[in-house]
Amino acid sequence: MVMNRIFKNFTFNPKNDILSGLTVALALVPEAVAFSFVAGIDPLVGLYGAFMMGLITALFGGRPGMISGATGAMAVVMVHMIQQGNQVGLELANPVENLGLQWLFITLLFVGAIQIAAGIFKLGKFVRLIPHPVMMGFVNGLAIVIFLSQLGLFKENVDGTMQWLQGIQMYTMLGLVGLTMAIMYFLPKLTNKIPGALTAIIIVAAITIFGGLDVPTVGSFIRDGGGTGLEGSLPSFQFQIFGLFESISGHWSLIISTAFLLAAVGLIESLMTLNLVDEITETRGSGNRECIAQGSANILNGLFGGMGGCAMIGQSIINVNSGGRGRLSGTVAAVALLCFVLFGAPLIEQIPIASLVGVMFMVVIGTFAWSSFRILRKIPLADAFVLIAVSAITVWQDLAIAVIAGVIISALVFAWENAKRIRARKSIKADGTKVYEIWGPLFFGSIQDFNGKFDPKNDPESIEIDFIESKVSDHSGIEAIKNLSEKYIELGKKIKLTHLSPECKTILLKADAKLDSIIERSINDPRYHVVTDLLDQEV
């Protein structure tokens, strides 16, 4: 029974997982190479990084079917440290080339440790705090970023500068991209037995190879970027810690700060991807387990000379839409990627870039939340602003900054809206006691309005503040009650606080034990009974 459950978790449908894994592996090649160039490192480092990230997270990650590898979000963060490391290496008494790459490997060890700690302390659950408008803005911005990144593949290197393809080359490229997209769109309507993406890549590659078409290929893309090709050997243990202390001295702050930033970017992108795949597959993954797997994979990259990385939304969507729902799909993708590098480089280098661009364009169409256009006028203005802002910041800056900004904006809007809900109903009892019946949440945002409801100098000698319709939410609210009570007491007036929650009473008494005399402990509460108070009376 247990073995059967483990097998089903590893693969729901072996054929679909294998075919979708091969499709993802083909799409991973140009992505890993491109992000290697962004970071300023050898393409093989990016490819090995994608292999190790993909394998570890596929086997031990937070959910089956999700794909990890070298990503642009992390490459952008790496590049500054790598450049500075290379500069330091050239200035040493015994110059060291590519010292920045060695610094990267050390940094990845810290990245992994931070991410594993996040998983151990169960910080992955905080992804649930991301509001839906932020999620929609994130996927929209990401779709735009993927689209824009593909436009660079419509250019060629002319005398050291990248220029748009011209004439027949551009028309051929567009035609092959369109053919790839058409196959991916119409094939699933005819049969679901073979993945549309893989079929499209094979057909378009066959047309270009046997038709003798001169189009940009994976091989030409690598060479235009300054690389020599895909062919390589197995990654080896490259971390030489004792020889690096001299070069790192005085630069630990850069390495540690970069490590924290890389860890944060990686976790945010991975957990957001996990949420998105959860919605597509209508299943639920484990964010904490994903944190630990990501951290372990980054440590392995640091030890064996890989670029590191995190979850890849585009490739994850390709995998899921192609039928890859088990861990086998990610495992096949990672192993196939390594096999391409070791054994299939000449063949893979002939794959036309147009076919891979077409696949990514279909990912863009599938990723973009088209419904956001329809609901923009139907949702609150603040949510619409957050959705648009997150999309724009994702394109302008990067994913991590966009998500953090979106969460902050949403939190501030939530706090502002709730701050305006504090109310005080005023009435006078037969004995002349003035009653303030508080309604609404009392927290840092509503303190000013709360204090404005009272008039200690002109109020009668006896005051009752009733919190039956209010909840004190934070320490700021506690302090507001304490300070208000002290004002009435200093004026020699009697004040009684009624219907406070047990937690609020406890914290108030910790702040000032003298307040015990003004807190009502009656159990005659028309709304609820406090069990602890009842037990105290029985004792």
Decide if 492 contacts 456 (C-beta within 8 A). no
- Residue 349 has phi, psi (to 5 degrees) of -65, -15
Residue 42 lies in a domain: yes
On whether both 385 and 245 belong to a single domain, the answer is yes
Cα separations in angstroms, 506 against 437, 479, 512, 513, 516: 21, 13, 10, 10, 10
First to last CA, the chain: 52
Q: How many degrees, rounded to 5, is the angle at CA 400 between CA 397 and CA 401?
A: 50
On whether both 430 and 376 belong to a single domain, the answer is no
* Percent of the chain with pLDDT strictly greater than 70: 91
Return the pLDDT at 195.
74
Strands 423-428 and 434-442: antiparallel
* Distance separating alpha carbons of residues 362 and 359, to the nearest angstrom: 5
On whether both 446 and 376 belong to a single domain, the answer is no
Task: Report the chain's mean pLDDT, rounded to a whole number.
Answer: 84
Decide if 441 contacts 432 (C-beta within 8 A). no
Burial of residue 129 (CB within 10 Å: 0-12, 13-18, 19+) is exposed
Question: Which are the contacts of 20, defined by CB distance < 8 A and separation ≥ 6?
Answer: 195, 198, 318, 319, 322, 323, 324, 329, 333
Where a domain ends, among 340, 369, 390? 390
On whether both 134 and 187 belong to a single domain, the answer is yes
On whether both 452 and 533 belong to a single domain, the answer is yes
Return the CATH number at 460: 3.30.750.24
> Which of the residue ranges 109-113, 407-411, 524-528 would you say has the lowest mean pLDDT?
524-528
| pLDDT band of 536, cuts 50, 70, 90 | very low
> Which of the residue ranges 166-175, 345-354, 505-514 would you say has the lowest mean pLDDT?
505-514
* Distance separating alpha carbons of residues 358 and 368, to the nearest angstrom: 16
Q: Residue 40 — left, alpha, or beta (φ > 0 → left; ψ -120 to 50 → alpha)? A: left
Residue 44 lies in a domain: yes
Return the pLDDT at 146.
78
Residue 227 lies in a domain: yes
Please check the confidence at residue 36 and state whether its pLDDT lies above 90: no
The helix, strand and coil proportions of the chain, stated in percent and rounded to the nearest 5, come to 65, 10, 25
Tokens of 116: 């594993």
Domain interval for residue 327: 2-152+160-390
On whether both 200 and 70 belong to a single domain, the answer is yes
Please check the confidence at residue 16 and state whether its pLDDT lies above 80: yes
Residue 214 lies in a domain: yes
Higher pLDDT, 527 or 94: 94
On whether both 12 and 139 belong to a single domain, the answer is yes
On whether both 113 and 219 belong to a single domain, the answer is yes
Q: Residue 305 — left, alpha, or beta (φ > 0 → left; ψ -120 to 50 → alpha)? A: left
Q: Report H helices in 159-286.
A: 167-190, 196-210, 218-224, 245-248, 252-281
* Domains in the chain, number: 2
Cα separations in angstroms, 444 against 130, 319, 421, 453: 21, 46, 13, 16
Q: For 453-500, how does the pLDDT look when each residue is reduced to its tens digit (9 = 90+)?
A: 999 999 999 999 998 888 888 888 888 998 999 899 999 999 999 988
On whether both 227 and 336 belong to a single domain, the answer is yes
pTM: 0.73
Residue 410 lies in a domain: no
On whether both 87 and 230 belong to a single domain, the answer is yes
Please check the confidence at residue 530 and state whether its pLDDT lies above 50: no
Q: For 105-163, how does the pLDDT look when each residue is reduced to its tens digit (9 = 90+)?
A: 999 999 999 999 999 998 887 777 788 898 888 888 878 887 887 888 888 877 777 78
Tokens of 384: 């619409």
Return the pLDDT at 539.
36
Residue 31 lies in a domain: yes
Return the pLDDT at 231.
75
**Which H or E run includes 21?**
helix 14-39
Residue 206 lies in a domain: yes
Residue 397 lies in a domain: no
Higher pLDDT, 216 or 225: 216
Return the pLDDT at 341.
87
On whether both 358 and 466 belong to a single domain, the answer is no
Nearest Cα neighbor of 290 from 115, 129, 121 is 115
Return the pLDDT at 237.
63
On whether both 206 and 314 belong to a single domain, the answer is yes
